[in-house]
Each structure stands twice: as structure tokens, then as C-alpha cells.
Amino acid sequence: MKKYSYKKSNELFERAVEVIPNGIYGHFSPAPLVPVSAYPFYIESAEGSHFTDVDGNEFIDYMCGYGPMVAGYKNKTIDKAVFEQYQKVDTVTGAPEVMVDLAEEMVKTISIADWAFFAKNGNDVTSYALMAAREHTQRKKIIRLKGGYHGVHPWTQSPDHPGIIFDDAKNIILGKWNDIDDLKRIIKEHKNEIAGLISTPYHHPIFFDNEMPHEGYWQEVEKICRKEGIVLIIDEVRTGFRIDERGANETFGFKPDLICFSKAMANGYPISALVGTNEIKSSVSKVFYTGSFWFSAVPMVASLETIKYLKANKGVEKMHDYGKKMEKGLVDLANKYGYDLKVSGHPAMPFYRITDDPTTKLHQQWCAECTLRGAYFTSHHNWFVSTAHSEKDLKLTLEIADDAFNALKKNN
């Protein structure tokens, strides 16, 4: 199989570092890609489940923009409505009509939602949820769980990181995933001080195997939060509309007070949402929170159409099935070459790891070999599938993976 090279990506990067801090910063920084030489940095175009980099290499995209793409790049149904809205108005002196339609659609779709509030990024609404919880309870402390990601605002980061001070974490308590005893201990130590608990619906840290909730875990957490008057906030920025369009809590059988959405809710157009119950609505209303671009109409249209599209096309089911088939195919291939490929998390956003080498060097090599052949796999982060991933993609992915395992065997 032909292997890709990235001359133009690298040339662009040389230019970028001169004028942009880090060249490419944040989660798109090439730094965690190992080896960096196996990955493209700059993208030229995308369609369906594929993207093409600036060197003309085409990839089946298993990161989906790290989550936002869910119904295929340039999805015709969604983009038709989007382009129509573009012709009319985007950001203007006032709110667009579609904002009401979108809020109604979310209330109709998401089981706990009595209302919806819109912003741009996931972190806009995770932070808003914290403020709302504090206002609602008149308490100051927040529990977040170790290894969980909720964005980049100071409260979400560890104070040993640059730019963060210990005071930023003063009212943040780190708990442990799937550990009820730990939660009870924290609550006992901070009786009547805890405003909210924020967590993803299942544990999807980077670098490590993802973990589903233990039987009864969420039911117990919900019970404790109710008893102690703690606002239960679920961060579905990554899982939203991939696991369950009613909210992943329906899959796991519990009811939070607030849910944060972004990424997949508009198939790549920039928007996020906080939804919640009527009990907390007046507290939310009191907190002044806004942004220059939060009323832009185009992403709202995109979101409305994306949600409708996913429901009409059984999106969640489709992604689950594709993820399951891919899992079987890849695990069988690994076995053929004598490797143990472990899959954790949800099939629509699985985390893969070759367990034969705990240092992850083998896994890094395999992901790199796949990427160099056109299946874009990262080794440190869960992958994403979309409704646009097809049987043809699956077949090609397995061929690529086969060749990559072969190369792995030869090189080790």
C-alpha cells in the first residue's frame, strides 16, 4: 500500500510558528501525535466521512474534527438549510427566529430539557452550568472528576499548569470516577458546601482505557445529589447526539439537572447549548452570560437540521452499528497477527489500545501506520464515527489496518 507524505503541511507549519504561538495550538497541536511525521497538519477539503489534506492525501476521518462532524462533511440536507440562512442573515442586531425553533426541538428531543440556552463552545456552557449551580444553591464548591475534561477555563485545569494559580482551584474538589465511597467522603468533608457535581456520562480520559459506569453508579449519584441538594451537571460535549439523542443519561437510567452540549449538535457549525429542568431555570436566568456571536443564526439552523437529520436517519443506531462492526473487524485482524487490541468506551466513540505493550509504543506505531495509509487514527484519544461512515469505508479501513499490522509485525 502506498504511504503518504506531508511536504506542504510541514512547509505551512514552518510559516505558522513564526506568526502563531505553537504554530497550531490546543487539541489540534501536532505534539501528541506520535510520531508526528505520520500525520497531516493542514486540511484542504472534506466530504462525507473523508478529508483531504493540503498535500492531496485522502483520509477516512476517525476523529470527525474531534467530535463535531456527526452526519458527514458537507451533508446536503443540513447544508441546504444552512446556505439558505446565510442568504438571509447570520449575526445581526437581535435574535433570530430559528433560535426559538431550535430550543423547542431540543426540549422535545432531550428528556430532561425544559429549556435550552445557546453559546459557542463547550466550555462556555460547562462554565455557565457551574455558575448556575452556585446561584441555585448559594454554595461555592464544585466536584469534578479526575481525568475528566470540561474545557480550558482555569477551573477545569490543574493549578500546576502554566497560567493557572492555586486560587483557581480553591473551590474545585477532585473526585474519582465510578467511586461512590469517594463521593460520600467528599460530601461528608464539605457538608452543605457543594453546589454541583460535573461529570461526563461515562469516563473518557485521554491516554487511558475508557470506563462505563458500574451497575447502579448513576442511580446512586443521583440519589445522593438529590438528598444533599447538589446540582447534577452532565457534560455531554463529547458524547452528545452520539450515544442517545434523548441524552446519554437515558441510556444509563438517571436524570441530571443540567446537560452541556456542543460538538456534534450542529455537525461542525459553532454552537453549544446548556439544557436543564424548570427547577433550576430561574437561577439560570439570573446569571448574566452572553457573547457577541452567540445569537448567530447559521449554526442554529445547522443544529436544528442536524438533530432532525440524526433522528430521521436513526443516526445513533447507525453509528453504534458501524462502531461494533469496525470493532469486530479490527480485533479479529489484531488476533490474526497475534496482538491483543482492547476496545473501551462507546462504539460510536471507541478508545482502542494494543495491550501487548504497556508503554503504548506498539499502539502508536500501528495508529501511525494506519494514518499513513489513509485511516486517520490517533493513539491518545478516543475516535469518533459518523453516520457518513459506509460499508465501503469499513472495508478499506480493514484493508489498511491489515497492512498496518503487517508492517507492525515486520518492524518489531
Ligand X SMILES: Cc1ncc(COP(=O)(O)O)c(C=O)c1O
Which stretch of DSSP H or E encloses residue 310? helix 297-312
Nearest C-alpha neighbor of 240 from the set 221, 220, 256, 218: 256
Q: Is 150 in the site for ligand X (CB under 6 A)?
A: yes
76-85: long-range pairs with CB below 8 Å, 24+? 77/305, 77/309, 78/267, 78/302, 78/305, 78/306, 78/309, 81/301, 81/302, 81/304, 81/305, 82/269, 82/298, 82/301, 82/302, 82/305, 84/301, 85/297, 85/298, 85/301
Near other proteins by CB under 8 A: residue from 2, 7, 19, 21:
21
Partners of residue 272 on adjacent β-strands: 119
Find which of other proteins, ligand X, none residue 151 binds, CB within 5 to 8 Å per kind: ligand X
How near is the Cβ of 109 to other proteins at its closest, in Å? 37
Q: Is the CB of 99 or the CB of 145 nearer to ligand X?
A: 145
**Partner whose footprint covers residue 262, from ligand X, other proteins, none (CB < 5 to 8 Å by kind):** ligand X
* Residues within window 261-280 making contact with ligand X, judged by CB under 6 A: 262
Q: Provide φ and ψ at 316, rounded to 5°.
A: -60, -45
Q: Which of 56, 94, 163, 358 binds other proteins (CB under 8 A)?
A: 358
Residue 75 is a binding residue for ligand X (CB under 6 A): no
Residue 126 interacting with ligand X (CB under 6 A): yes
Does position 123 interact with ligand X (CB under 6 A)? The reply is yes
Q: Is 196 in the site for ligand X (CB under 6 A)?
A: no
Helix, coil or strand: residue 282: helix
Q: Based on CB atoms, which residue is closest to ligand X, 133 or 334?
A: 133
- Site size toward other proteins (CB under 8 A) is 32
Q: From the list ligand X, other proteins, none, pick the one residue 34 interacts with, judged by a Cβ distance below 5 to 8 Å according to partner type.
A: other proteins
Q: What are the CA-CA distances from residue 111 to residues 41, 115, 243 (Å)?
A: 39, 11, 14
Burial of 188 (0-12, 13-18, 19+ CB in 10 A): exposed
Alpha helices in 117-179 (DSSP H): 122-137
Three cell numbers, residue 190? 464539605
CB of 371 to other proteins, least distance (A): 15
Which one among 9, 200, 364, 397 touches ligand X, defined by CB under 6 A?
A: 200
Q: CA nearest 313: which of 392, 261, 391, 387?
A: 387
> Rounded to whole angstroms, how far apart are CA atoms 127 and 212?
24
Among 1, 3, 11, 22, binds other proteins (CB under 8 A): 22
Name the residue nearer to ligand X (CB basis): 235 or 402.
Answer: 235
Comparing CB distances to ligand X, the nearer of 99 and 198 is 198
- Site for ligand X, residues 218 to 237, rule: CB under 6 A: 235, 237
Q: Which residues bind other proteins (CB under 8 A)?
A: 10, 13-14, 17, 21-25, 29-32, 34-37, 41, 158-162, 166, 206-207, 358-361, 364, 380
Residues that bind ligand X (CB under 6 A): 121-123, 126, 149-151, 200, 235, 237-238, 262
